[in-house]
Structure 1
């Protein structure tokens, strides 16, 4: 009579049948605040250390999930970058902020983490090429592109915060403070009372138009 074999323990990394896509697939449905490496390992039925072959820690996993959500959203866009640097800036910015808003809860963790993510930056390459070809120097192009991305990311963060029930906390705090003060600050009161939507498409169009107008003033003049 043969001795029964002990249940086999799944191995680590590739030997456990894992790859990065399998790990991301198990983690996508978990809220970022509740995400742990142990929780993902449990969902996959593997030892916690098996994940380390592909993902070093929780922070790295959150970054990978954020870029994964962004990439899957951007894949839905059919971007027409037009023919000018202004066209490219506008198309890239509109796609970028909408995609960042759509990934919502993952936005705080969004950053490039791997060379394979550079495919997302292809429109930025077009912007850089066109601006350099138009005569802008490298410092101006670098600063302009940094500003454009900053506008998109900051707007997306505010839009996500402002979409929550009760409105954007900073504006609501200002409204409450003005209500207590009861006198003074008439200009601010008129703006707060107007309840302008500063988190929608109209506001972003204003931001983008202002950006383009400012950069156009820096364009090299023909002699």
Structure 2
């Protein structure tokens, strides 16, 4: 995913002459429902030619990405990682607020992806997290890999929750059951057993499980140093 600066296109005189700035554009864009937001509608609201917007946003997708990043950072910046008593608590606080931040985006969540999780989000909580990891004795390389893995896990889990809320169902078990129903009952006995178990992987318990795995693995890594 491109950085926020890269989402802004090269300078055009139209945008400058219109007296627009990025905050004006985003403020106007926030007044729309996602399904109603387009560059044409936005230009109409701002009373400028659509070409004037191209100084800041290339297309609808880049506009949605900017809105998603801004909204996420507004939520994520309040993270209390620095106040965590140890590195384990810091990782948990980071994960919980990361997930809730993505969920808070609602329909905009699908437009956010961190090509590099360390450069697209608010820097203060990330800085605080790296400080906790360094203090605990993790190498910088291990810290980078750990935070990147954690961010990826959190993003995937948050999107799972949003999918579940939107569809009112667990999509993976439904798809698996549909595939198994077309086959003989004697085939894939392990998958049949698993699907009947009915484990909900779209819940907070799933995130707790993932965090336990990450924390235990990180603890063993640290102990081996």
TM-score bracket for the superposition, by shorter chain length = 0.7 to 0.9
Partner of 1:105: 107
Contact 2:164 2:171 in 1 (8 A): yes
What is the rounded CA distance, in whole Å, between the counterparts of 1:118 and 1:177 in structure 2? 38
Q: What does residue range 1-223 of structure 1 map to in structure 2 within 5 Å?
A: 12-13=14-15, 15-32=17-34, 35-74=37-76, 77=78, 79=80, 81-111=83-113, 120-165=122-167, 167-184=169-186, 185-221=188-224
Please report how far the alpha carbon of residue 55 of structure 1 lies from its aligned counterpart in structure 2 after TM superposition: 2.6
Q: Which runs of 5+ in 1 are unaligned?
A: 1-10
What is the rounded CA distance, in whole Å, between the counterparts of 1:109 and 1:15 in structure 2? 30
Q: Which runs of 5+ in 2 are unaligned?
A: 1-12
Partner of 2:6: none
When normalised by structure 1's length, the TM-score is 0.80
Greater shift in the superposed pair: 157-166 or 41-50: 157-166
- Taking structure 1 as reference, are residues 93 and 78 closer, same or farther at Cα in structure 2, changes over 3 Å only? closer
Please report how far the alpha carbon of residue 194 of structure 1 lies from its aligned counterpart in structure 2 after TM superposition: 2.7
Question: Quick one: higher RCO (CA 8 Å, sep 6+), 1 or 2?
Answer: 2
Contact 1:135 1:220 in 2 (8 A): no
Aligned-partner SS, 1:219: helix
Greater gyration radius: 1
Greater shift in the superposed pair: 97-106 or 65-74: 65-74
Paired residues in the alignment total 208
Aligned-partner SS, 1:215: helix
Q: Over aligned residue pairs, what C-alpha RMSD do you find? A: 2.7
Please report how far the alpha carbon of residue 132 of structure 1 lies from its aligned counterpart in structure 2 after TM superposition: 1.8
